[in-house]
Amino acid sequence: MDEKDLQEIDKISVNKETKMKKFWVIVTLLLVLLIPVGFMHGIIEDRENYKQEAVNKVATSWGNAQHFKSPSLRFKDDSAKESAIKYLTLYNYNADVRIQTEIRKKGFFKIPVYTANVLLKGTFKNSYGNLTGKKMILKIGVSDSRGFLKEPSFKIANKPEVLVTGMEHAVLINSAPDFIPFEISYSIRGLNELFLNIGGQTNNVKISGNWVSPSFEGDFLPMNRKIENGNFEAEWATPKIATLSLDNPKVGVSLLLPVDNYRMADRTLKYAFLFLSLTFLSYFIFELTSNENKKIHPLQYCLLGGAMLVFYLLLVSLSEFLAFNLSYIISAMLIITLISFYTYTVIGRGKSKKIPLLITSLMIILYAFLYTLLLLEDFSLLLGSFGMFVIIAIVMYSTRNINWYSE
């Protein structure tokens, strides 16, 4: 074996070693870039906390999320040696809540608030016999009384309607009725959510309002609901037996914004490592398959990774002022343009312009694929699984002719 052959063997060994070193350098860079990804999660969390501070400031002057307790009727029984407070059973409970919503801005945050007109009707069942001369006290409860727009109206036992300054109304009963009817109405303000306790033997609740994306929540879903033309209506019919295993059973609605930009940005960031890996892999495959023997320096990989991470900062910051969809498109276009130009200057100055075009096409496909995953939330796992299958197949096909043991 002459000296020339020995030099060829040494060259093959060096090339093989260089490939593996470069591979592990790229893997290390990917792991290092996970550190700023963690910082990005922290930035999104900080912005969410900042938004919550804005919500709290609006709540102090407008009224917080409202939780309406079931009305109660009680009297003081002095017939025994020791007086006791006795409660009548809430028998029929009917609630009709109509809300008028609007958007309040605190800084650049949009906060949904509402004014609710509440009408409560029903009957209490008397199990104590003659109530003549008893002072009956009807009481309501709300979670944030700052939201009251005027005094609540009480009507009990078919007596005249009365406006009261508190949340209790007392009336004398001069008979022994089996059932005592009541009617309560008031207007109150709140934000984001509205819930009602259902504590009657039979409960019928109706909530309606003008909001395009309500979320019906609580312990029971509505039996009937309708959402159209920016308005919604939901009805619940719940018997007592369905609530026996629950403490303070409730039903209600949340006023969701059509797109929560911070939640969407956080979901987008979960795919950051996949994006970085696929982009770095594309450049590495180019290095292995290129006939021009061009090499990409690890520092250039770092710059590419940094540019891709800036996408998430652009997305969060723009989405605070623009619609999330528009923010995504602008951020993606800026980063794709930057990486395409950089790829052309680093790689495309040779004879072949194919690689810069392929990288640009890959970036467009990746960002379009991610956007589709965000839109199809229920099918994101299914679509993502097939997407990964296609990606692995393309990588296997592209590297099928590479001899990993020699040049």
Domains of the chain, by residue range, sit at 3-49+262-398, 65-257
User: Mean pLDDT throughout 232-247?
Assistant: 90
Query: How much is the pTM?
Result: 0.70
User: Mean pLDDT throughout 350-379?
Assistant: 75
Q: Residues near 159 by Cβ (< 8 Å), separated by ≥ 6?
A: 171
Summarize pLDDT for 92-126 with one digit per residue, the tens. Answer: 999 999 999 888 877 777 788 899 999 999 999 88
pLDDT band for position 235 (cuts 50, 70, 90): very high
State the burial class of residue 54 (Cβ atoms within 10 Å of its Cβ: 0-12, 13-18, 19+).
middle
Structural tokens at position 258:
């059509």
Q: What pLDDT does residue 14 have?
A: 42
Summarize pLDDT for 260-304 with one digit per residue, the tens. Answer: 778 888 888 887 887 788 888 877 777 776 665 667 777 888 888
Contact between residue 191 and residue 113 where contact means Cβ atoms under 8 Å apart: yes
One-letter amino acid at 337 equals T
Structural tokens at position 271:
């795919």
Task: Kindly report the CATH class assigned to 65-257.
Answer: mainly beta
The Cβ of residue 39 has, within 10 Å, a number of other Cβ atoms equal to 11
Q: What pLDDT does residue 144 have?
A: 87
pLDDT band for position 257 (cuts 50, 70, 90): confident
User: Which has more confidence, 246 or 392?
Assistant: 246
